Chains A and B, each alone.
Chain A
Amino acid sequence: EAEVAQSPRYKITEKSQAVAFWCDPISGHATLYWYRQILGQGPELLVQFQDESVVDDSQLPKDRFSAERLKGVDSTLKIQPAELGDSAMYLCASSLATSGGEQYFGPGTRLTVT
């Protein structure tokens, strides 16, 4: 069964350091999403890609966060510098339809900033 892959699964970093997360969507899925989930809350969208283009990054804190999907397949989300408030689960999802619909999530990366 096809799955969304993410790495690393866990990351501990000190504040002011840089951190990066990687995601490989389900093969053939053109749309890729990065979400942040704080404990006890639902996922909140950070950025959405359609192929290699950013469709929505209105909630991405652009002063410290960046995301890219250079070849329209896998994607990287970077935080520099990390802050204590960035501690959360970072989830990647992908969907087949260009207009959203059913999204399939990866296992997530649990980030702890100390």
Chain B
Amino acid sequence: EDQVTQSPEALRLQEGESSSLNCSYTVSGLRGLFWYRQDPGKGPEFLFTLYSAGEEKEKERLKATLTKKESFLHITAPKPKDSATYLCAVQAGYSTLTFGKGTMLLVSP
């Protein structure tokens, strides 16, 4: 059974304080790993897809990396508007996505 574990459950940062979120996964035959951002009361917003170990993708202050067992979402010099829940999901073969519980990020000014 595919499993996704995200840590920490919640993270509080000061504006400008860089950090990383972790997504550990167990899956047979990874097809893709996905990162989403979800604001309270809204649907998840797609951020990145990673397909193979060593791959990296960047968008503004966010950079996602992938190894064979985990993915990191690095946040550089975060701003209060980066506050959200970040969800990680994996796809094995042609199955659908399995999501983690998310990391709730709060960035204080």
Contact = CB atoms under 8 A, between A and B. Distances in A.
Interface of A: 4, 6, 33, 40-45, 48, 56, 91, 93, 99-108, 110
Contacts of A43: 44, 87, 97, 99
B95 interface: yes
A60 to B, nearest CB: 13
B87 A42 contact: yes
B91 A101 contact: yes
Given A101-B32, A102-B46, A104-B46, A110 B41 contact: yes
A107 B40 CA distance: 10
Contacts of B41: 108, 110
Contact of A105 (B4, B44, B91, B96): B44
Contact of A91 (B32, B43, B100, B101): B43
B34 interface: yes
A100 B94 contact: yes
A108 B101 contact: no
B73 to A, nearest CB: 15
A41 B41 CA distance: 13
Nearest to A109: B43
B96 A100 contact: yes
B33 to A, nearest CB: 11
Given A41-B101, A100-B31, 20 more contacts: A33-B96, A40-B101, A42-B87, A42-B89, A42-B100, A43-B44, A43-B97, A43-B99, A44-B99, A45-B97, A91-B43, A101-B32, A101-B91, A102-B34, A103-B34, A103-B46, A103-B97, A105-B36, A107-B43, A108-B42
